[in-house]
Structures are given as structure tokens and as C-alpha cells.
A and B are shown apart, each in its own frame.
Chain A
Amino acid sequence: MSKFKKQKKELPAISTASLPDIVFMLLFFFMTVTTMRETEFKIKEPVLPQAKSTKRIEDKNFVSTIFIGKSRDASKSGDLIQLNDKIAQVSDVKNFIMINRVGKSEDDISRMSTVFKADKETKLGTLADIKKELREIDALKIGYAASQISKE
């Protein structure tokens, strides 16, 4: 009888005690590697052009981003500008930069730059209007955002 009993003995359950550790490790990996999605797009999400000779942005705290793209409504043509999470006009750009400058020292202001994240179908006229505004308030450092393609 005792022989029978032995054969019926179940396999021990696999221990899941280390599962939380594994998942936490994954969690920390993603927390460090990714960045928060900052803005919600009110315009159609811009498709960036591609380029090879791009540089990484050094410090995001010194960057103001201007989004340019098409309307979500496909029947409307023309380029729209989005600042933070609102659709804005060219004349709002000055204010936007000024607000970003608040509380920064003279030295930091000179390090600040403006990055255009524009859809590749944007017309340069829109961009030129914004650049004119930027020149008037001495925000001279600009960057054209592009997705990097490999160098070779």
C-alpha cells in the first residue's frame, strides 16, 4: 500500500516568489529608459522628416517645443501651430517663449533653444513667420527636429 501512495505524490508547485522581483526589474528598466509623454496632440501628430546629421538634445529643461502640423479634420488645409497643449497663432509664440523664460537666470536664458517639431509636409511660410517672431525677442537658437537614420 505504501508503494502506491508514493507514486500518487504530486509535484511541488513552482515557486512564484521571485516573480515580483523580475517584474520590478522590468519596471525599473522602463522607468529609466523611457521618458514621459508630455503633450497630447491637438493637431495631427507631425511626421518628422529624416536626417543623418542630427544631434541629441542636451537638456530638455532648456528647450521650448513648437509643434506644426495639419488639422485633424482632413477637410481643412493649412498648417496649425500647437504650443503646450493648445492650438495657437503665430502671434502667441512670443508669449510662449517669454513664459518659458520666467524664473531663469540671464545665463540660462542664453542657453535656451526652440525646437520645431514640424510635419514634413509643412510649408516653409509658416516656419518663416515663427522665425521672424523669434528673432524679435532674441530667441536665436533653434533646432529642426528630425528622426535619425543611421549614418551609413
Chain B
Amino acid sequence: MAKRSAPEINAGSMADIAFLLLIFFLVATTMDIDTVISRKLPQKQEPGSPPPPEVKEKNIFEININRNNQMLIEKKEYVKLENLKVKVLEFLDNGGGPGNNNVGNCNYCKGGPDGIVDLSSSDHPNKAIISLRTDRGTSYEMFVAVHDVLGQAYMELRNREAMRLYGVTFDDLLDQKFNDKENVELDEKIKKVKDLFPEIISEVEPSSN
């Protein structure tokens, strides 16, 4: 008997099957990528451990937010959210004295708004602490907005330094790192820029009054 060729399989319903799968994925998945503002909590304080070292008042930039989402800085001045960044930049970029770990004076700091160093402001970026005190009633939106401003301020300064040292912004360095995770050279660059302006943000446990 002659070999009969197998009949062709009808592929007409293939499209329907594929459509079904497609619609399933459209419904069951989401498009958005999670983005976060990352911070670090302080280590827990064991009872009986030595108290943390004293920090000079001038090296602390105090931000107070009350339950009505109003902001007070340095215990004396009310500021609006949009004016906070300038104040933070002035404080971080002051460079009025020697820093920690014997790095000497800050030779890359640009000082205040007119390039004048304010002796009553921070000594060195690696000593400058931003202290954020909130109320239990403060809204999360305000809290994140303030953290965002702080992040932007650090980013601006780091961008400036990365530009000066490597000719690219810090943002770009991070992007390159994201796409090329094994690159050790980039790691070093990022660390160096980070060390020039380390993020030191301390959150004080909220009060309830």
C-alpha cells in the first residue's frame, strides 16, 4: 500500500489560543516597577552599652515636623517644603572645619550661597548630620516628601562631585552600575563620590504630643 501523507493539522484556532494567553497575562500582571527611597535604621541600643558620642550642635541640622505637617528647622525657622532644599544644601556644603577620620578641611565644598563659609554651620560633609524629628500624627506623604528633598540635595552634591572627578553625573554612574553589575571600577567610583558626601540622616522616634 502506498504511504498516505498525514493530513495537515488545522492551525486556524492557534490565534484564539494565543489571544487567550495574551489576555490572561494582561489581566494577571502589572507594568509598574517598584521604586523606593532607601534608608537605614540605627542599630538597636543594648541596655548598658556606652552612650553615643556627643555631636556638636552646629553639625546637626534639625528638622521638626508637627502633626499638622508644618516644618521647623534648627528650632527657629519655619520653612516651606520648596525652600528646604536650599537650606540643606547650604548646611551640607559649608565645610567650615576639619572632618572625621583625619581627612582635613573640605577642599571641594563651595560654602554658602555666596561662597562664604559660615562658622556656625557644619564642619565637614562627613560630620554633618540631618536629624528628622516627627510627630506620631505627621502624615506619611509629608515624611516621604521631606526624605525626597534630602535625597535630592545629596544627589545634587554628588552629581557635582562626580562631574568634577569623572566627567559624568552620579546618576549616570548608578545607571551604568545597574546595567553592569560586575563592574568593580564603577563600584570604586561610586564609593568615592559617596564618601565625599555621605548620607547621614537620623530619624528621631516620634513624640506623641
Interface positions of A (Cβ within 8 A of B): 16-17, 19-20, 23-24, 26-27, 30-31, 33-37, 49, 51-58, 60, 68, 113, 115, 118-125, 127-128, 131-132, 134-136, 138-148
Contacts and interface: CB of A to CB of B under 8 A. Distances in A.
- Chain B interface mostly helix, strand, loop or mixed? mixed
A140 B144 contact: no
A142 B34 contact: no
Contacts, number: 163
Contacts of B140: 49, 68, 118-124, 127
A118 B119 CA distance: 40
B150 to A, nearest CB: 8
A39 B78 CA distance: 41
Given A51-B144, A124-B143, A135 B11 contact: no
B30 interface: yes
Most-contacted residue by chain B among A17, A49, A132 (CB, 10 A): A49
- Chain A interface mostly helix, strand, loop or mixed? mixed
**Contact count band on B:** 35 or more
A120 B136 contact: no
A140 B36 contact: no
Contact of A19 (B15, B137, B144): B15
